[in-house]
Structure 1
Amino acid sequence: MELLKFEIKINASPEKVWTVLWEDTHYRQWTSAFTQGSFYMGTLDEGSKVQFLDPENNGMFSKVVKNIPNKEMVFLHLGEIYSGIETPMDWGDATESYFLEGNDEETKLVLEINTTEEFKSFFEEKIPQAIQNVKNLAENQL
């Protein structure tokens, strides 16, 4: 596993950034950097399972390890989904963590991904685009 870390300063409050990250309409917009039409199914309550999907019902499923509104969200990725069928994978500590710190005017968003070599280049290419989308949405649409 390798820990990748990305951060961006956003001229908006942590509450606005959080809304962009996890409210369904905005989530679909910023995650288009990964796959057009991305969405999630399930709840983001701690301990719950959530599916991250594309329009063909392919993607991955994860457990919500931590959800502290406007501050921190952590997922543990458990497996892949093909045509809606979950396939558990032995990814070990494959986590995806979002940390927000700031005030009413500015938020630092830090995204950390603990990933396998197989996905490293994908994340290095796509995450900077995705967090730029979050910045644009938080600063211009809310």
Structure 2
Amino acid sequence: MEKLRYSVTVNAPVQDVWTTMLDDATYREWTSVFNSESSYEGNWNQGSEIRFLGPDGDGSVAGMIATVEENRPNELISLRYIGQVVNGEDDTTSEAAKAFMGAYEKYAFSESEGATTVDVELDSDEEFVAMFDDAWPLALAKLKAIVESRS
């Protein structure tokens, strides 16, 4: 696994950025860069299980399953991946699911002089690095635009 890092500074208070990033409706907006129908099921509470979903190429539901390892409001969200969703079914036992089990994704938030920096760090298989290097900066730019248009 490779450790990937992305960052954006948003001209808004941390509470606005945090809420916009994690609220269901606005989450769907900024993550549409990854999949036009991105969504999640569950919640961001520490210890909760959360599913990140979208349609697969054949129209079935696909995605990832994670546990919220840490949630410090307006500071940090840390996720650990525990499986995948294939054809709408949870998969935690296949070789494909086991290949990324234990991978982490973290969102750190820090505010200075009214601007908030969001630092994203995630583990990725080499085959997805180019896709994430293209998509994450666009997603964070979209998050920034959404927050700043509302502030």
Q: TM-score range by the shorter chain?
A: over 0.9
1:139 and 2:148 correspond: yes
Structure-2 residue corresponding to 1:116: 125
SS at match of 2:8: strand
Question: What corresponds to 1:107 in structure 2?
Answer: 116
The residue matched to 1:123 in structure 2 has which SS?
A: helix
User: What secondary structure does 1:58 align onto?
Assistant: strand
C-alpha root-mean-square deviation of aligned residues, in Å?
1.3
Quick one: which amino acid aligns to residue 86 of structure 2? Y
Is 2:67 the counterpart of 1:63?
A: yes
Instruction: Describe the SS at the equivalent of 2:47.
Output: coil
Structure-1 residue corresponding to 2:53: 53
User: How many aligned positions are there?
Assistant: 142
Q: Shift in Å at residue 43 of structure 1?
A: 1.5
Structure 1 unmatched runs, 5+? none
Q: Is the 8 A contact 2:82 2:102 kept in 1?
A: no
SS of structure 2 residue aligned to 1:46:
coil
TM-score by length of 2: 0.89
Q: Which runs of 4+ in 1 moved over 4 A?
A: none
Give 2:90's match in structure 1, choosing from 86, 90, 100.
86
| Residue aligned with 1:135, SS | helix
Corresponding position of 2:104? 95
CA distance in 2, matches of 1:62, 1:114: 13
Once residues 50 and 66 of structure 1 are traced to their aligned partners in structure 2, the CA distance between those partners, rounded to angstroms, is 13
| Aligned-residue identity in percent | 31
Specify the alignment match of 2:44 in structure 1: 44
Hey, what's the Cα distance between the residues in 2 that align with 1:113 and 1:131?
14
Secondary structure of the 1:37 match is coil
